[in-house]
Amino acid sequence: MAKYVAEGCQVMVVTMTGGERGDILNPALNTPANRARLPELRRQEMERARAILGVEQTWLGYEDSGFFQGEPWPPTPPGTLAATPVDEAAARLVPILRQFRPHVIVTYDERGGYPHPDHIMCHRVTMAALAPTADQAVQPEAGPAWTVPKVYYYMGFHRARFAKLDAMMHEAGLTSPYAERLRQWQAPDIVDRLTTFVPCAEYFPIRDEALRAHATQIDPAGHWFAVPLAIEQKGWPTEDYELVSTTVETTIPEDDLLDGLATDAPALDSTDNWQI
């Protein structure tokens, strides 16, 4: 996101829930007072991260569904994203898409990155909103129909990346935060699904600053920052995606989410837009 903002693109983040049922994962902030005002803190953190990245941001307005370990999962409370019919939630997203008119959308894949119910719903809602956004007969009051030229899944959590950084940590004589994860890895690697590798290592410091802004969710001494920045920048200098829908011609593998748009998308404005 920081890379595309720096290149003059408009970027909007649509946040589907307020994080009300999330955990406080930063020990320094895990106090009764902070737990009591977690929704307020999460909004403040989002605003700080938004400002750091230079993006636009809006809320879809659903409550956090919570994340539980083990089975069976308890019933999801009414009003939460996971308890809402997908088409109903998608109808809220349609006006946002028609107003912003993104040329690229990035969302989670079908697994949600990891199986948080709201991550999975983010995927389902986003994908369900594409067809009605492009159909003027649906929600005509929401503005002119818009067909999104390119849709991607963000696919950064794959084994090849973790294995490369793990090897470089060992070569540097450092303790890798990925060793146990790699030993226990059972899911098929998704590397064969990757289509698009966007070089953006110079923006990793901004990424980290924005991540730290979500202070209740991130332990600054935790695994997110265990790999030195120089190793990350050298070992895996891209962010990785799967192109799942396109109306423009492009060549795989890509190195830019906007590949094909500059010459093939007649609706492209002087300022490119892309949306998560």
Taking only the tens place, the pLDDT of each residue in 73-130 is 667 778 899 999 999 999 999 999 999 999 999 999 999 888 888 999 999 999 999 9
Q: Is residue 185 domain-resident? A: no
Q: Which of 62-76, 166-180, 226-240 has the lowest mean pLDDT?
A: 62-76
Q: Domain range holding 20?
A: 2-157+194-230+239-267
Radius of gyration for the chain, computed over Cα atoms and rounded to the nearest angstrom: 19
CATH number for 107 = 3.40.50.10320
Percent of the chain clearing pLDDT 90 (strictly above): 79
What is the overall mean pLDDT for the chain?
91
Confidence of residue 31 (pLDDT cuts 50, 70, 90): very high
Query: Does residue 180 have a pLDDT over 70?
Result: yes
* 74 contact partners, CB below 8 Å, separation of at least 6: 68
Q: Is residue 188 domain-resident? A: no
Using DSSP bridges, classify how beta strands 150-154 and 238-246 pair: parallel, antiparallel or unpaired. Answer: antiparallel
Closest to 14 measured CA to CA, from 104, 103, 93: 93
Cα–Cα distance, 12 to 14 (Å, whole number): 6
Cα–Cα distance, 25 to 224 (Å, whole number): 12
Q: Is residue 168 domain-resident? A: no
Q: What is the pLDDT of residue 134?
A: 98
DSSP H helix total and E strand total for the chain: 10, 7
Cα–Cα distance, 146 to 94 (Å, whole number): 9
Q: Is residue 262 domain-resident? A: yes
Q: What is the mean pLDDT of residues 231-248?
A: 97
Q: What is the pLDDT of residue 70?
A: 61
Q: Which helix (H) or strand (E) holds 208?
A: helix 204-213
Q: Is residue 51 domain-resident? A: yes
Number of domains, the chain? 1
Query: Does residue 190 have a pLDDT over 50?
Result: yes
SS3 label, residue 276: coil
Q: What is the pLDDT of residue 21?
A: 84
Which pairs with CB-CB distance under 8 Å and at least 24 residues apart come from 167-174?
Answer: 168/231, 168/234, 168/235, 169/227, 169/231, 172/228, 172/231, 174/228
- 8 Å CB contact between 82 and 236: no
Confidence of residue 269 (pLDDT cuts 50, 70, 90): very low
- 8 Å CB contact between 12 and 57: yes
Q: Is residue 28 domain-resident? A: yes
Q: Which of 30-44, 175-189, 254-268 has the lowest mean pLDDT?
A: 254-268
Q: What is the mean pLDDT of residues 41-50?
A: 96
Q: Is residue 141 domain-resident? A: yes
Q: What is the pLDDT of residue 79?
A: 85
Q: Is residue 15 domain-resident? A: yes
